[in-house]
Structure formats: C-alpha cells, structure tokens
Amino acid sequence: MKSHVKAVVIGGGVVGCSVLYHLARAGWTDIMLIERSELTSGSSWHAAGGFHTLNGDPNVAKLQAYTVQLYKELEELSGQSCSLHLTGGVMLADTPERMDFLRLAHAKGRYLGMDTELITPSEAKAMFPLMDETHFVGAMWDPVEGHLDPSGTTIAYSKAAKKLGAEIVLRNPVKELTQGSDGIWNVVTEQGTVKAEHVVNCGGLWAREIGRMVGLELPVLAMEHMYLLTEPMPEVEAFNRQTGREMVGVLDFKGEIYTRQERNGILLGTYEKACKPWSPVETPWDFGHELLAPDLDRIAPSLELGFKHFPGIANAGIKQVINGPFTFAPDGNPLVGPVQGLTNFWCACGVMAGFSQGGGVGLSLSNWMVNGDPGFDVWGMDVARFGEWASLRYTNAKVRENYSRRFSIRFPNEELPAARPAQTTPLYDTMLANNAVMGDSWGLETPLWFAPKGTEPKDIVSFRRSNDFGPIGEEARAVRTSVGVTEIANFAKYEVTGTGCEAFLNRLMTNRMPKEGRLVLTPMLNQFGRLIGDFTIAHAGNDRFMIWGSSAAAKYHMRWFEKHLPKDGSVRIHRFDQTLVGLSIAGPKAQALLQKLADVDVSTKAFRFMDFREMAVGGAPCMVNRITYTGDLGYEIWMQPAYQRLVYHAIKQAGEEFGLVDFGMRALLSMRLEKNFPTWFRELRPIYGPFEGAMDRFVKMDKNDFVGRDAAAKELEAGPKLRRVSFVVDALDADVMGDEPIWAKTATDYGTVEKPHGYGAPRFDEKGRETRVSAADEGASSIRGIVDGDWRVVGWVTSGGYAHFVEKSMAQGYVPAALAGDESEGLFEIEILGQRRPARITTEPPFDPSGERMRN
C-alpha cells in the first residue's frame, strides 16, 4: 500500500469503483481505493441490477443516460462482462393523471435525446404478457432500460481503473480521518496511514459513519428493500421461444412495483408503504455480505396488488426473497460534490440507483475534482442542496416518505408533509391563522397562498389549474391596485465585511459593486463563464455589503464564496439563515404605507428605486431595499426575528386604510412572470451563459477582471447560441410547469436540441411476435420524434404559469438566439400535457414595460 497518494476513495461498491475509474480516466492515476472487506460488500452485491434513464430532473436523467451508454465501453476496457440485457421497459399508468405524468415525461424526452413512446396497455401486454391490461389506461415505452449483473459491473469498473494505474486495497477498514495544517488528509486504516490530498466518501451503507469521522451528519438513511425471484415459468420460456426476445422491464406506478424477467422466471420488487429503515442511527461495522430476514407480511399489500395487476406471476413458485439495505437521501437523489466548510473532502453517497446513476456520479465528481467543475448541471444531486436542518430525524421521516411513494406522481403544486415544520419564522402561527397554505422552502415554512376564510387551506393537487387559481388572482390584483405584504424569510442572506470585501465581490460578480446606500443586481459566473448565481447586493457602508440570493443555494454559494476568500483574512462572510427574516410590501400604495411606519422621508426623491437604508420600521431596526420581485413599487424589509411580529402587525394596522392584503409566494411568482423576471435554478442555471440568460445589462465587461470574464467575452464575441425568452401561451386549463418542449415552424436545424438515440418501441403482432426489430429497420432517422412536418423542437420551457394581473398564461424558456427576437404569431407552439398550444414571444414584459411603477 502506498503511503502518499493524490486521492483516496473510501468504499469499493459500484459508486466507489466508478469514481476510481473516472478519476483514472481523467488522468489522476496516483489514486487508491480502500475497501473495508471485498468489493461489493455493501448494497452493491445484492442489487436487482435494473437500470433506466428516466428521472424527474432532466439533468440527472442525462447522467443516467451516460451511465447506461458507458457499460459497453466498460466491458471492452476491462474485459469483464456486465451481463447487459438492454430489454427496454414500460411504465404503466392506471389513471388519467398518471397518463398526464407520462405525457410530461415523454415531452421532456424530446429535447433530452430520449426516444420514449406512448403506447396502449395492449401494446404493453404484448411485451409483458403476464399483466392484466384492463387495470391500466396507457403506458410509456423507454428503449434504454434493462438489467445487468451488479457484481460483474462493479468488478468491471475496478478492473478498468486498475488498468489505468489506480490501486485497490481490500480488507482494510478506514478507521479515522484527520487533516494536517497543510490540508493533507491522514487516512488512518487498519493497515497503516495514507496521506492524501483528496478524500472521497463512497461509503454507501457506511457513508454516514465516514461523514461522522470529519464531523458531518450526512442526510443518508438505509432502507430495507425486498424483491422476490420466482421459479422458472413456462409462460416466460414460451414467450422467449416465440418472440426470440426477453420480456421487458415493467414499472407499475399504482402498485409501486417493478418487475422483469430474470433468467427463465420473474423478479418482482416493491416499494411498500410500511417501509422500514435499517440501522437508523448507526450502521454496524461487522455487517458483511449479508442479507436481512425476509418479511413477506410487510409487503403483502403490495404483492396482493401486484398479483392482481400481473396475474401471470400469481401462481409461480417463489424461489427466493432477497431483503437487503440500501441508502437514500431525503429526496432520493445522490449526494455528490465537495462539502462546504471542509477542504478536499468529497462525497459520492446516498446513491439509491447505483446501476443507473453510478457512471454519471463518477464522471461529474471526477470532473469536479480534476477540473474544479462537474461539467454538468448536477444541482439535483449536489451535496450542498441540504441545509443543517436535514438532521437524522428529518432524514428518517423524509426518506420513509420518499421510499413509500417512490413511483408516485409529484404534482407541480404538491407539498409533501413529512418532517414539517422543520423551521418556522415568528409569523408561522399568524400565517396559519390567516388561512395560509404553507410550503416548504429549503426547510422553512413559507406562505404560498391564502385560502378564503371558511375554506380549508389545502391544495387540490393537479397538473391543471387548481383551487389556488382564484385566490392567487385576488392577491395579485390587490397588490397591483393597492398594496400587499408577504414573507420573504426564504431568501438566502449574507453579510460580507472587511477591508477587502469590495474587491472580493468585484472579483466574483459580473456587475460593478454599488455605491454606499445603493443596490445592484448581479449574476455570478464560474471559470467557464456559466451562471452559478444571481444576487441583490447592497453597499451598507464601512466595508460592509449585504447579499441576498436563493435560499436553496445558500450552501452551494457559501462553498464558492469560501473557496475564493483571500487567505489574508481581509474578508469575512456570514450566512444568516433564519437569524435574519424579512417582509416585503409592494403595490402603488407601498410608499404611502412605508411612510406611515418610518421616521425618515421615504419619498422617491429621498429614497430612490434601488436604494438601501437602515431605518426603523414600526419602531424596529430594519434594513430596507427599495426593490421587489413583483416589479412594482415596493420594498424588502429585513429584521432580526425578534422584531418580525412587531413589524408585521404595524404594517397590517397601517395598511388597513389602503385595503392591504397578505399575499404568498405563488402570487409573487405570478407577478414576476408578467415582468419577464427570471428565477434562479429555473431560468438561470450553470448550463447557461450570462448572455444566453439575457442578463446582458448586469455583466460589465469593462470593469475589473472577474471570474468567468474571459469565457463570457468569448460568448459575447461569438454571440450566444441560445437565448432566454418569455412567451404568452394560448393555454387551455393547464399552464406550463417547466421542461415542456418548444416547437417552432422552421426548416432550419438549429442543432441546439440533442438528437434521440436508441430505438423505437418494438411492435408486436397479435401472437406477440415482434414485427419490427428496431427503428433503424424502418429507416427512421436519428431525429425521429423531434421533427413533425414543418415543425421542429427548438428549445424547452424553464418555468411559467398564469400571470394573473395581465390575464395571460406565460412561459419562459430557451430557444436558438436567431429566433429570440421574433414575435410573430404562429411561429411557436409549446407542448402542454401532450397538446401543442400556440405561443408568441413577448420581448417586452406585459406589465409596466417601461418600469415606471418600480421607479416612481
């Protein structure tokens, strides 16, 4: 065993081996994987080995597609078979809502390069004859699904890594991790200490315990999971004989069941409601290549439903029941990346679908370690997406919720109840008394909308307009015609101080820093000129700046800020979280309202648009920004939590004469739509450049050098390929939700949309025989599915909804820059729930295009 290496990867499951392979492939060969026991000694060896590309987050879906594509290459490189079975799979919908969900997923696939197809239950049955099609209303076919040998695949990664020069040390538990003052890690193992610049936690079932070695409580929990294997089934053998092919994989949303052929029998797994965490506090170190005792009673309700939906399986003999643990993060996606507050400590854990995601996790993490950037938009699996509130108990409740609804639909207006409330502001009870429907905003209870008195404050979940539509409209109209108040505690807030703070911010941000008492809006770029932040910054005087940004990105941004802090201690940065809370008042009467509460002159002359002041509001010390996300006259008022009730009640009382209303996040988001304002993580993400994101006026190329400037200059010189635009959509009863494809009537191939790969759904005759082997046999071109007559998919929606005050359904999204200024009618269509609806670009915001309302 070497004593010094560049990086130590802890854990030889599929994820650790993939990370090792990808690091070696990226050129870091002085690396070592240390495994406690033998390779695959955690959850990897007893996995069902299924893989698929579909994921709710399109960026994670892309990485899953990469994983699946990698296997062939891996087999060639390593000389080790993964026993790949690319059977394809069907997802079965039992209700119209689930069919809507599949339509959405299918539509998304159009620009992700996925070649899914919507099919009938009978077509699904032709591929999996053991089902009773009468329980279903439709299905989606995905050709890029299948299964493999989990151990063989893990070994294949390890062999490929070794061929590239990586070292693997087995039967050697890592006992302790310490870091010297030079930043070098001491990896203390049973066989001695290894010094490493970087440490990667790929501990799988023990990832939490490895985290604890460095003082972290990672939000990871293992769950027991069961699948059963049947005896050989004559029906399966007959199908194989008749069709010459394997039965496809099947996912049954209603039953939370997956099933597929395994040898000449069937494998069936369940995500049961009565799910059970395994080792909820501490994973035993002596747990080896073991299985847990099966508990068929626990999965009996799922099996009952399964046998109803798949009667062909009901009579088969059960050969074996596998019960094994594997880990989940609270939202079911992996935890990947560098940990904020530590140097060179990386995570690749909480990977619940190692055989769908392992390759993408390894690729993005190795990019991140070697090049300083993951190279993909990995927000959906970034370890920074959970705050300190994601404690052991929070994780336990959320993981159980997530497990038990693994295949359930998450509606766009659906808030999940587990582990809530996690954090509240002092106004929580007041908001409940006001009949607020609350939502979870990065662990904080936040009012979404206010239900009319006498009605239950509850969302009716739907893909279409729902019971919040009327009340949100009332809130938005009241703000636009008079004044409203809303809580804005769910922003991230930071204070940057010290003699070097202005230079520090000028180096990180694309805009010039404001003069004292003023605000600016500014994006932040990474070294590749991609958008990694969007902030409001105030110059508070005396080497002090205040920053507001996206709360979900608080740790993500802190990690970046800390990485760039000067070493001389001339800059300090503090993240407030809920030790600073806020209220926003907005609408034409907002100034008159503030004047009643302030002891200083707040007229437009004295307190201009984009001014910042520290002043008492209702007698409480506050910081006030003259800006709001409504795009109206208005203010953001920030205070310590101890003052929030005082300020809120003062606002309510003083606002009575103006007919002040409470409004929630959804009205706020509706109002920003009619101003064409973007949102972080929807319109603005690390896959876009600042000019693509239409942030031109906030990027000052002639100021000092800033991170990402050279890359931004290149984007500017070449002209952005894509451009963010706003649309007015001729919608019916459903508005866009995000990720819908944008079609244009154009003969030009803009080349911005990935072309689908793989094959179309095989067709079968009435005897179940395949009538077409692949789309290629039909001469289908690689752009099948994205061109339809004169129309082609040219982009995608990032977000949207109903803009209540201007009474228009609106969407924002990205299209080729050449089309971005074309406001012609009849040029665009946006696919909403499978229906293409006419849409028109609106370059000017429909509400107050001149911005007079904000400024006066």
Ligand X SMILES: Cc1cc2nc3c(=O)[nH]c(=O)nc-3n(C[C@H](O)[C@H](O)[C@H](O)COP(=O)(O)OP(=O)(O)OC[C@H]3O[C@@H](n4cnc5c(N)ncnc54)[C@H](O)[C@@H]3O)c2cc1C
Q: Minimum distance from CB of 274 to ligand X (Å)?
A: 16
> Segment near ligand X (CB under 6 A), from 324-332, 422-430, 529-537, 741-749?
324-332
The enclosing H or E element of 650 equals helix 641-655
Rounded Cα distance, 407 and 253, in Å: 5
The one-letter code for the residue type at 136 is F
Name the segment binding ligand X (CB under 6 A); options: 44-52, 124-132, 367-375, 749-757: 44-52
Q: CB 774 → ligand X: shortest distance, Å? A: 25
Site size toward ligand X (CB under 6 A) is 42
Binding-site member from 5, 23, 28, 49 for ligand X (CB under 6 A): 49
Cβ–Cβ < 8 Å for 416, 401: yes
Closest among 140, 147, 123 to 52, alpha carbons compared = 147
Q: Is the dihedral of CA 165, 166, 167, 168 positive or negative?
A: negative
Output 137 or 321, the one with its CB closest to ligand X. 321
CA 177 to chain CA mean position, Å: 30
Window of 205-213, 581-589, 713-721, 778-786 that interacts with ligand X by CB under 6 A: 205-213
Which is closer to ligand X, CB of 258 or CB of 535? 258
Using CB under 6 A as the criterion, what x/- string covers residues 269-308 for binding ligand X? ----------------------------------------
Contacting residue, 5, 22, 28, 41, with ligand X by CB under 6 A: 41
Q: Whose Cβ is closer to ligand X: residue 347's or residue 537's?
A: 347
Q: Compute the least distance from the CB of residue 197 to ligand X, in Å.
A: 19
In angstroms, how far is CA 202 from the centroid of its own chain?
21
Min dist CB 232 to ligand X, Å, is 21
The SS3 assignment for 799 reads: strand
- The four Cα atoms 642, 643, 646, 652 give a dihedral, to 10 degrees, of -120
What is the residue whose two structure tokens read 């490929």?
160
Q: Which CB sits closer to ligand X, 173 or 426?
A: 173
In the complex with ligand X, the residue whose CB is nearer, 12 or 549, is 12
**Near ligand X in 801-840, by CB under 6 A:** none
CB of residue 415 to ligand X, shortest distance in Å: 27
Binding residue (CB under 6 A) for ligand X from 326, 449, 643, 698: 326
x-marked contacts with ligand X along 337-376 as a string, rule CB under 6 A: ------------x-xxxxxx--------------------
From residue 828, how far is each of 243, 721, 818 by CA, in Å? Answer: 43, 18, 13
Comparing C-alpha atoms, which of 389, 371, 693 is closest to residue 523? 693
Indicate whether 12 belongs to the interface with ligand X (CB under 6 A).
yes
Residues 6+ apart with CB under 8 A from 589: 482, 483, 655, 658, 660
- CB atoms < 10 A from the CB of 429, how many? 11
Q: Which of 220, 553, 271 is nearest to 394 (CA)?
A: 220
Residue 618: Cβ within 10 Å count: 21
Q: How many Cβ atoms from other residues are within 10 Å of residue 149's Cβ?
A: 18
Tell me which of 10, 508, 722, 734 binds ligand X, using CB under 6 A.
10
When binding is defined by CB under 6 A, the residue of 71, 101, 141, 206 that contacts ligand X is 206
Residue 329 or 519: the one with the smaller Cβ distance to ligand X is 329
Cβ proximity to ligand X, 210 vs 257, nearer residue: 210
Q: Which 209-238 residues touch ligand X, going by CB under 6 A?
A: 210, 225, 227
Q: Given the complex with ligand X, which of 52 and 723 has the nearer CB atom? A: 52
Q: Which stretch binds ligand X (CB under 6 A): 201-209, 597-605, 807-815, 838-846?
A: 201-209
Alpha carbon distance 130, 146 (integer Å): 18
Rounded Cα–Cα distance for residues 366 and 346 (Å):
10
User: Before 514, cis peptide (omega within 30)?
Assistant: no
Which of residues 5, 7, 9, 14 is near ligand X by CB under 6 A? 14
The reply on whether position 545 binds ligand X by CB under 6 A is: no
SS3 of 303, please?
helix
89 binds ligand X (CB under 6 A): no
**129 lies in the site for ligand X, by CB under 6 A:** no
Distances from the Cα of 29 to the Cα of 35, 164, 235, 343, angstroms: 18, 7, 50, 21
Q: Is residue 379 near ligand X by the rule CB under 6 A?
A: no
- Among residues 32, 48, 84, 124, which is the contact residue for ligand X, using CB under 6 A? 48
Note whether 84 binds ligand X by CB under 6 A: no
What are the distances in angstroms from CA 570 to CA 507, 538, 611? 14, 19, 26
- Non-local CB neighbours of 521 within 8 Å, separated by 6+ positions: 511, 534, 535, 536, 537, 698
Least Å distance between CB 746 and ligand X? 40
Is residue 480 within the footprint of ligand X (CB under 6 A)?
no
Q: Across the strands, what pairs with 226?
A: 323
CA atoms within 13 A on the CB side of 494: 27
What's the token pair of residue 352? 């619940």
Which residue type occupies 189? T
Beta strands per DSSP E along 629-693:
634-639, 661-662
Site membership for ligand X, residue 157 (CB under 6 A): no
Neighbours of 605 (CB within 10 A): 7
Pick from 377, 347, 326: which is nearest to 19 by CA?
347
What are the structure tokens assigned to 682, written together?
Answer: 């929807």
The only residue of 203, 631, 678, 720 in contact with ligand X, by rule CB under 6 A: 203
Closest CB to ligand X among 318 and 711? Answer: 318
Q: Which two tokens stand for residue 604?
A: 């437009």
Q: Tell the smallest beta-carbon distance from residue 349 to ligand X (Å).
A: 6
**From the CB of 201, what's the least distance to ligand X, in Å?**
9
Please tell me whether residue 322 binds ligand X under the rule CB under 6 A.
Answer: yes
Q: Tell me if 81 sits within 8 A of 75, measured CB to CB.
A: yes
Which of 163, 175 has the CB closer to ligand X? 175
Residue (35 or 445) nearer to ligand X, CB: 35
Q: Does 249 bind ligand X (CB under 6 A)?
A: no
Range 406-465, binding ligand X (CB under 6 A) = none
Site for ligand X (CB under 6 A): which residue of 174, 268, 316, 839? 174
Is the Cβ–Cβ distance between 801 and 672 less than 8 Å?
no
What is residue 411's three-state secondary structure? coil
324 is a site residue for ligand X (CB under 6 A) = yes
Q: 3-state class of 582 per DSSP?
A: strand
By the rule CB under 6 A, 8 interacts with ligand X: no
Residue 43 binding ligand X, by CB under 6 A:
yes
User: Closest by alpha carbon to 489, among 661, 651, 637, 662?
Assistant: 637
Taking CB under 6 A as the binding criterion, the range among 30-38, 127-135, 431-439, 461-469 that sits at the site for ligand X is 30-38
Decide: is 47 part of the binding site for ligand X (CB under 6 A): yes
- What is the three-class DSSP state of 621? strand
Q: Which is nearer to ligand X, 34 or 266 (CB)?
A: 34
Based on the shown chain and the rule CB under 6 A, indicate whether residue 329 belongs to the binding site for ligand X: no
Contact window for ligand X (CB under 6 A) among 33-41, 459-467, 492-500, 717-725: 33-41
Question: Minimum distance from CB of 363 to ligand X (Å)?
Answer: 15
The CA distance from 435 to 270, in Å, is: 38
Exactly one of 121, 204, 374, 447 binds ligand X (CB under 6 A); that residue is: 204
User: Cβ closer to ligand X: 54 or 483?
Assistant: 54
- Specify the 3-state DSSP secondary structure of 511: coil
**Nearest residue (CB) to ligand X, 14 versus 126:** 14
> Is residue 74 within the footprint of ligand X (CB under 6 A)?
no
Residues near ligand X (CB under 6 A): 10-16, 34-37, 41-44, 46-51, 173-174, 202-206, 210, 225, 227, 322, 324-326, 349, 351-356
